[in-house]
């Protein structure tokens, strides 16, 4: 049934090098950024994002939903809302709620080929008490139409992942759905692929292996260059690689293609960092925060905590007369704060999904209760400038206390290092050290883009952070010689305290040829960073439509640009989001000093090819 700001230093860059080989690097001084020039600035004029700290879910969804040529945004605040931002030629409307509640991964694409963009929202299951099926919306320009049920209905899940892709190379968008495993499900999987018959009829095709806990994170790529999509699954236990066979079956080839077992994975992105035409992998990794983790910054005298799933109590805090608790977040129903020996409820104003600030003077918080029978947070002034904090919550709970004189934090395990895996004929080799990838800290996501238009893809890596200091994110710049340099004094800084790193996507929101970044911090805010490079390097923006003969979707198509003796290969709308699959049909190519494009072509998932020769640079090219 069919249903309806970074500071760059020249010593770190090879910005002047023409990586497409049109001229020698020595002739390209004009393409360099001046020392101290800021590449990224946070954008507040082109978009008005909410100035509240909230829990987040996954990266932004980027797609031209109204098909006016500019990428729109869907931003998910976990357990609260998905907000839609229409793009008006580089300036976004005020965000509006598309749907409220517990929403997770989002798939996007015109799966039924009726000319309207469709999204499928994977809905959460209320920690197992409210399993639901995914929800459809259709976009007829800016008219939003709520969809009906598929027939047969999709299963009720604790939904996590929703992605459209062409699993059998017939040009129709099939569906990948994954869910958090149901209680007492035994060996039964909650991960499925559905076949599209070409008219929008979606039926079950195959089961994917069962995943545990948060193991429903997926990268769709083609690691062996056989033109069939493969799956990289991660999030709990070891990373797995499933080779697509083109018939809705997948073979686990992990042991054959990876150099070793890879654990603690938080994000995976494909990148052709050496421009050899195959897709390498960058893998971000982290130790997850654990109940009882504490953080302290002696310079600012700031204390932070993370807890969940039970009772907790911290060493008494030497503060003084006033307790200032910043960005305190504990999801419903354990949000109450009890004060002093009488354990009276602190009065909050307004909604409480966002981070709350609690300010209590000692005379209003005297003493400590003999018992703490209720779920929530207890605070009390116990004399001699000391405050006590304890409580009991279920969902992850965080907060920051300022003005703390000193604190001894808990010992934490050494952070795993991120990995850069080079693709050598379908097998991956760890070249992290050789390439200059040295994180040695916890990271939570990665996104890829040519931020300086020199013809080689760079890396933006999101740090987990420590709750108690502003977070300066990581930008690895591709030197064009198979190595990266990390930009120092990065202006890609998020200042909010009490946040935990999440993820990022790249886009060119105003189609100026400069790759921008949309990122979020968990328990923080969304941030749009605008690229201000404006150097003399050239670029091309390839806007890809459906194929001419069979109307195949561009999702997963491979775009190739040839010019100045070199070839660049990019996937249409690559996306490192763990649960969501964007569809940005504008492919960005940085060209360095090359200003002659011999040919651009697109190979669709069904094998159709469209191409154009002798096209200009520094503009949008429609195919």
Same domain, 318 and 282: no
Residue 321 · residue 385 · CB < 8 Å? yes
Q: Report the run of H or E that residue 163 belongs to, with start and end.
A: strand 158-165
Same domain, 38 and 179: yes
**Which residues make beta-bridge pairs with 360?**
323
Q: What is the CATH number of the domain that holds 580?
A: 2.60.40
Q: Which two tokens stand for residue 411?
A: 């010992």
- State the burial class of residue 256 (Cβ atoms within 10 Å of its Cβ: 0-12, 13-18, 19+): exposed
Residue 437 · residue 419 · CB < 8 Å? yes
Last residue of a domain, one of 507, 531, 555: 531
Helix, coil or strand: residue 553: coil
Summarised one tens digit per residue, pLDDT across range 74-132 is: 999 999 999 999 999 999 999 999 999 999 999 999 999 999 999 999 998 766 667 88
Last residue of a domain, one of 498, 531, 564: 531
Q: What is the structure's pLDDT at 127?
A: 62
Same domain, 163 and 103: yes
Same domain, 255 and 337: no
Domain tally, the chain:
3
Query: Regarding predicted confidence, which is higher, 491 or 113?
Result: 113
Sheet with 609-615, side-by-side order of all strands: 566-571, 558-563, 597-603, 609-615
Query: Is residue 14 scored above 90 in pLDDT?
Result: no
Beta strands in 286-385 (DSSP E): 293-297, 302-307, 310-313, 317-318, 322-329, 337-339, 344-345, 356-361, 376-383
To which residue do tokens 């930008």 refer? 475
Distance CA(117)–CA(554), nearest Å, equals 13
Q: Which two tokens stand for residue 85?
A: 């931002």
| The pairing of beta strand 538-543 with beta strand 620-622 | parallel
**Average pLDDT in the 171-190 region?**
90
Q: Which two tokens stand for residue 308?
A: 């969940």
Q: What is the structure's pLDDT at 535?
A: 86
- State the burial class of residue 495 (Cβ atoms within 10 Å of its Cβ: 0-12, 13-18, 19+): middle
Helix, coil or strand: residue 433: helix
Same domain, 320 and 337: yes
Same domain, 163 and 209: yes
Q: What is the structure's pLDDT at 13?
A: 39
Query: Is residue 31 scored above 50 in pLDDT?
Result: no
**Which residues make beta-bridge pairs with 311?**
392
Looking at the domain assignment, is residue 581 inside a domain? yes
Of all residues in the chain, what percent carry a pLDDT higher than 90?
A: 87
**Average pLDDT in the 364-388 region?**
98
Query: For residue 597, what is the DSSP state?
Result: E
Residue 334 · residue 394 · CB < 8 Å? yes
Looking at the domain assignment, is residue 2 inside a domain? no
Average pLDDT, the chain: 93
State pTM to two decimals. Answer: 0.94
Same domain, 520 and 568: no
Looking at the domain assignment, is residue 4 inside a domain? no
HEC string of 94-161?
A: CCEEEEECCEEEEEEECCCCCCCEEEEEEECCHHHCCCECCEEEEEECCEEEECCCCCCCCCCEEEEE
Domain that holds residue 329: 293-402
Summarised one tens digit per residue, pLDDT across range 21-30 is: 433 332 222 2
Looking at the domain assignment, is residue 408 inside a domain? no
Same domain, 196 and 115: yes
Same domain, 266 and 297: no
Give the distance, in angstroms, between the CA of residue 209 and the centroid of all CA atoms in the same chain.
Answer: 24
Distance CA(559)–CA(264), nearest Å, equals 32
Last residue of a domain, one of 531, 561, 593: 531
**Average pLDDT in the 562-582 region?**
96
């Amino acid at each position: 049934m069919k249903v309806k700001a970074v500071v760059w230093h020249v010593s770190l860059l090879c910005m002047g090098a023409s990586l497409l080989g049109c001229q020698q690097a020595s002739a390209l001084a004009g393409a360099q950024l001046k020392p101290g020039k800021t590449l990224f600035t946070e954008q507040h004029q082109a978009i008005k994002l909410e100035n509240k700290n909230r829990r987040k879910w996954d990266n932004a969804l980027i797609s031209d939903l109204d098909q006016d040529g500019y990428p729109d945004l869907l931003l998910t605040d976990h357990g609260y809302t998905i907000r839609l931002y229409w793009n008006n030629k580089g300036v976004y409307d005020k965000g509006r709620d598309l749907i409220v509640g517990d929403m997770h991964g989002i798939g996007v694409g015109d799966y039924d080929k009726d000319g309207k963009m469709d999204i499928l929202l994977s809905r959460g299951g209320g920690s197992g008490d409210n399993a639901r099926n995914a929800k459809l919306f259709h976009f007829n320009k800016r008219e939003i139409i709520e969809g009906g049920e598929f027939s047969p209905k999709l299963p009720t899940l604790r939904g996590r992942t929703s992605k459209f892709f062409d699993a059998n190379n017939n040009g129709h968008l099939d569906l990948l759905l994954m869910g958090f495993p149901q209680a007492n499900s035994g060996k039964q999987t909650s991960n499925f692929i559905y076949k599209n018959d070409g008219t929008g009829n979606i039926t079950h095709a195959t089961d994917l292996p069962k995943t545990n806990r948060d193991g429903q994170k997926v990268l769709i790529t083609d690691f062996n260059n056989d033109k069939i999509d493969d799956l990289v699954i991660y999030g709990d236990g070891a990373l797995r690689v499933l080779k697509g066979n083109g018939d809705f079956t997948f073979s686990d080839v992990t042991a054959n293609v990876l150099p070793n077992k890879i654990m603690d994975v938080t994000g995976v992105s494909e990148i052709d960092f050496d421009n050899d035409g195959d897709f390498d992998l960058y893998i971000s990794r982290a130790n997850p925060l654990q109940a009882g983790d504490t953080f302290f910054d002696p310079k600012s005298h700031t204390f932070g905590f993370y807890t969940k799933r039970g009772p907790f109590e911290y060493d008494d805090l030497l503060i003084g007369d006033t307790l200032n608790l910043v960005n305190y977040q504990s999801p419903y129903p354990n949000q109450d704060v009890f004060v002093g020996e009488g354990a009276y409820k602190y009065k909050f104003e307004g909604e409480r999904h966002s981070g709350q600030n609690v300010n209590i003077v000692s005379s209003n918080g005297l003493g400590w209760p003999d018992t703490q029978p209720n779920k929530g947070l207890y605070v009390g002034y116990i004399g001699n400038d000391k405050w006590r904090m304890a409580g009991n919550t279920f969902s992850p709970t965080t907060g920051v206390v300022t003005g703390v004189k000193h604190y001894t934090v808990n010992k934490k395990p050494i952070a795993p290092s991120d990995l850069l895996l080079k693709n050598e004929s379908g097998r991956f080799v760890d070249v992290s050290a050789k390439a200059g990838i040295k994180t040695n800290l916890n990271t939570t996501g990665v996104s890829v883009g040519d931020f300086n238009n020199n013809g080689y893809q760079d890396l933006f890596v999101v740090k987990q952070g420590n709750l108690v200091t502003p977070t300066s994110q990581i930008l690895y710049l591709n030197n064009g010689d198979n190595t990266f340099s990390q930009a120092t004094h990065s202006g890609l800084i998020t200042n909010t305290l009490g946040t935990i790193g999440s993820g990022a996507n790249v886009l060119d929101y105003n189609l100026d040829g400069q790759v921008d970044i949309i990122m979020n911090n968990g328990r923080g805010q969304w941030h749009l960073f605008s690229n201000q490079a404006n150097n003399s390097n050239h670029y091309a923006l390839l806007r890809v439509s459906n194929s001419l003969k069979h109307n195949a979707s561009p999702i997963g198509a491979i775009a190739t640009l040839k010019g100045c003796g070199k070839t660049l290969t990019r996937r249409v709308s690559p996306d490192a989001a763990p649960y969501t699959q964007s569809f940005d049909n504008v492919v960005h190519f940085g060209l360095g000093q090359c200003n002659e494009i011999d040919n651009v072509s697109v190979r669709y998932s069904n094998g159709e090819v469209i191409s154009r020769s002798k096209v200009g640079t520094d503009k949008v090219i429609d195919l």
